[in-house]
Amino acid sequence: MRSGLFKILGSALLTFCILFSNSNMEAAFIRGDVNFDGDVNLTDAIAELEYLFLGKIGPEKCLDGLDVDDDGSTNIGDPIYSLRFLFNGAQPIPQPYPNCGEDPTDDDDLNCVESFCPDVDCMRQEDLDQLLLTHVDEVICLESPLISTTIAGNDIVVCPEGSGICPNGGFGCPVLIDEVTIDIDRNLNDAYIQLTGSIPSIIFEIDPILGGPTECDFSVDLSGAVSIPFTANELPNGALEIVTIGDGTIDAESVVLNLDSNDANPSLICGLALGFEDAIKDIAIEQLGAALNEALIEVTNELTGTILCPEL
């Protein structure tokens, strides 16, 4: 009897120490994984019953994991919730489950300082966003000439040499980047980077079938996405360790290009050229893809070897 009482008192004392001496520490965990084996099964419900009624020491290191129903407390309802989930297909176990993660409802007094989940420093969405802000320049340069082609019998040169100057001093047409975002597709092992931007002024040299050469000044709003494949190892806690990153491919269907004349009264030829934007977009996709890939080199280099958090 005295031995059982000492066990209960010891468990309570250890719980108190963990809660108050490590209140700022929060380990990732799997909800319901009471015995820290990385899985939730019958043995976890038994382990929690032993903790609650026999004073078994160990599970108190991660009280968040014991709170199976996520009601902010640990009691008999938690092993019952586990058993109903395991054998009756009742309500699913709240996150984080079945992979490691942090408590999305961390507004209670429960804590987790040790669990099955390895202590891994990983990149979250905000880290990826900051990576893009750090390494993607505010201006991307499209080299001159961007396009030299014939559309409906009209010879067209877009961004001819000498018509624009990029920040690096070279000839080209600068694209001002307004926004850049990244999404990770775990199912496809793909990083999808979306950019939106504008070209305040881009020159079109048009030599029409009838009449002499005409120079048109347009502004362009554009957006597009690059799909970058990668290989990764999934860690026990559900995080992804990026091993290799392949070459990016522009998603042609994502490219949107809108032309607008900078001339208050555009000539007839320049007005007709506005109708060529779809044909110009199709031709420009390869050049746009090359420019976007070059702009993202430092991003892909930085991602290689990093670990993405389980929630991504």
Are the C-beta atoms of 55 and 8 separated by less than 8 Å? yes
CA angle 242, 248, 251 (to 5 degrees): 125
What span, in angstroms and rounded, lies between the C-alpha atoms of 87 and 67? 19
Are the C-beta atoms of 31 and 85 separated by less than 8 Å? no
Write down the pTM of the prediction.
0.60
Domain residue spans of the chain: 2-88, 125-308
Q: Which pLDDT value is given to residue 117?
A: 78
Pairwise pLDDT comparison (48 vs 238), residue with the higher score: 48
Pairwise pLDDT comparison (223 vs 24), residue with the higher score: 223
Six-digit token pair at 174? 């600068």
Q: Which pLDDT value is given to residue 99?
A: 81
Query: Which stretch of DSSP H or E encloses residue 19?
Result: helix 2-21
Q: Which residues of 271-288 are buried (b: 16+ CB within 10 A; e: fewer)?
A: ebbeebbeebbebbbebb
What span, in angstroms and rounded, lies between the C-alpha atoms of 57 and 18? 12
CATH code of the domain made up of 2-88: 1.10.1330.10
What pLDDT, in 10s, does the model give residues 69-99?
A: 999 999 999 999 999 999 988 789 999 998 8
pLDDT at 62 over 80: yes
* pLDDT mean over 219-227: 90
Query: Which stretch of DSSP H or E encloses residue 265?
Result: none
Fold of 125-308: Bactericidal permeability-increasing protein; domain 1 (3.15.10)
Peptide bond into 59 cis (omega under 30): no
Six-digit token pair at 195? 């950019």
pLDDT at 22 over 50: no
Q: Please tell me if the domain spanning 2-88 has the same topology as the one spanning 125-308.
A: no
Q: What percent of the chain has pLDDT over 90?
A: 30
* pLDDT mean over 230-250: 86
Q: Which pLDDT value is given to residue 14?
A: 38
What span, in angstroms and rounded, lies between the C-alpha atoms of 34 and 39? 9
- Lowest pLDDT segment from 10-19, 165-174, 244-253: 10-19
Q: Which pLDDT value is given to residue 8?
A: 36
What pLDDT, in 10s, does the model give residues 276-308?
A: 888 888 877 877 777 777 878 888 888 888 888
Are the C-beta atoms of 55 and 14 separated by less than 8 Å? no
